[in-house]
């Protein structure tokens, strides 16, 4: 949870630092480690290795197995939700659709929504949900998976808290982060999907990320 709360603090530092530079660059979130590598001439140097989103296999809204390969060399926005959610999910996805509308048909951009309702949100349910939202297209993938796998990748890799809770209004608790992932599978930002101003910031940051050189 400390890592999740740290998104906001780190963003403040980066915003301050960006004001001092002409070219803005987004931070890279998550764990990192320093490794000694050798260049083409055999000289040793220290390189920073950043945490990346691991390989995964989920079923999408068309009951087709979806893997990390679909997002290779793509910038994408990921979130966690469930179709029967009556609290933050409808707001999140209305706001997320404005991002989709801006980058619709952009071959370098994708969207990935993971359901946390492993009991009800099977592919056929996700299909109807995507159709109702008006985004049943390859660019926006809705995926279902085993509880352990989905909850693990949410908390350990995307740094989003999710939980099954019978005392909650709809039986589940989750955070409304929209997580921005770069072409190297690294987290470059997280934004409150329920707040329009945060969604606008995400759009601006996506432009920065898409213009970023490797």
Phi/psi at 4 (5° precision): -65, -45
Q: Is residue 159 part of a domain?
A: yes
Whole-number pLDDT of residue 7: 57
For residue 197, pLDDT beyond 80: yes
Pair of tokens at residue 120? 């009800």
Choose the weakest-confidence range: 13-17, 69-73, 101-105.
13-17
Q: Is residue 27 part of a domain?
A: no
User: What is the pTM (predicted TM-score) of this model?
Assistant: 0.85
What does the alpha-carbon distance between residue 68 and residue 95 come to, in Å, rounded to a whole number?
Answer: 25
Q: Is residue 47 part of a domain?
A: no
Span between the terminal Cα atoms of the chain, in Å? 30
Whole-number pLDDT of residue 12: 45
Q: What is the CATH number of the domain that holds 92?
A: 3.40.30.10
For residue 160, pLDDT beyond 70: yes
For residue 13, pLDDT beyond 50: no
Q: Write down how long the chain is.
A: 214
Domain that holds residue 131: 53-211
Percent pLDDT > 70 in the chain is 87
144: β partners: 59
Pair of tokens at residue 72? 């290779």
Q: What would the 3-class secondary structure string for 17-59 be?
A: HHCCCCCCCCCCCCCEEEEEEECCCCCEEEEEEECCCCCCEEE
Q: Is residue 79 part of a domain?
A: yes
Cα separations in angstroms, 53 against 9, 69, 133, 165, 187 = 22, 12, 26, 26, 8
For residue 155, pLDDT beyond 60: yes
Q: Is residue 128 part of a domain?
A: yes
CB 161 within 8 A of CB 4: yes
Read off the pLDDT of residues 85-121 as tens digits, 9 standing for 90 and up.
999 999 999 999 999 999 998 999 999 999 999 999 9
Whole-number pLDDT of residue 32: 76
Whole-number pLDDT of residue 49: 80
Whole-number pLDDT of residue 115: 98
For residue 2, pLDDT beyond 50: no
Read off the pLDDT of residues 22-50 as tens digits, 9 standing for 90 and up.
478 999 998 877 767 777 777 777 767 88
pLDDT confidence bin for 5, thresholds 50/70/90: very low
Whole-number pLDDT of residue 30: 85
CB 85 within 8 A of CB 172: yes
Q: Is residue 21 part of a domain?
A: no
Report CA dihedral (70, 72, 73, 79) to the nearest 10 degrees: 70
For residue 202, pLDDT beyond 90: yes
Q: Is residue 13 part of a domain?
A: no
For residue 1, pLDDT beyond 80: no
Q: Is residue 182 part of a domain?
A: yes
For residue 76, pLDDT beyond 80: yes
Q: Count up the domains in the chain and report the number.
A: 1
Whole-number pLDDT of residue 47: 66
Q: Which residues contact 29 (CB under 8 A, 6 or more apart)?
A: 3, 7, 10, 159, 186, 187, 188, 189, 190
3-state secondary structure of 63: coil
């Amino acid at each position: 949870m400390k890592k999740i709360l740290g998104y906001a603090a780190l963003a403040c530092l980066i915003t301050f630092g960006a004001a001092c530079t002409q070219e803005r660059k987004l931070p890279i979130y998550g764990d990192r480690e320093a490794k000694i590598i050798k260049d083409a001439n055999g000289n040793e140097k220290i390189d920073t290795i950043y945490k990346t989103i691991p390989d995964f296999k989920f079923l999408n809204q068309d009951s087709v197995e979806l893997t990390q390969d679909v997002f290779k060399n793509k910038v994408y926005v990921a979130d966690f939700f469930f179709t029967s959610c009556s609290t933050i999910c409808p707001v999140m996805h209305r706001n997320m659709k404005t991002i989709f509308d801006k980058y619709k048909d952009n071959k370098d951009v994708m969207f990935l929504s993971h359901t946390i309702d492993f009991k009800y949100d099977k592919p056929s349910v996700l299909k109807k949900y995507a159709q109702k939202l008006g985004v049943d297209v390859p660019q926006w993938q809705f995926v279902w998976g085993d509880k352990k796998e989905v909850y693990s990748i949410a908390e350990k890799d995307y740094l989003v808290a999710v939980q099954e809770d019978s005392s909650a209004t709809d039986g589940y608790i989750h955070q409304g982060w929209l997580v921005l992932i770069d072409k190297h599978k690294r987290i470059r930002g997280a934004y409150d999907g329920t707040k329009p101003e945060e969604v606008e910031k995400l759009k601006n940051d996506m432009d920065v990320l898409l213009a970023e050189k490797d």
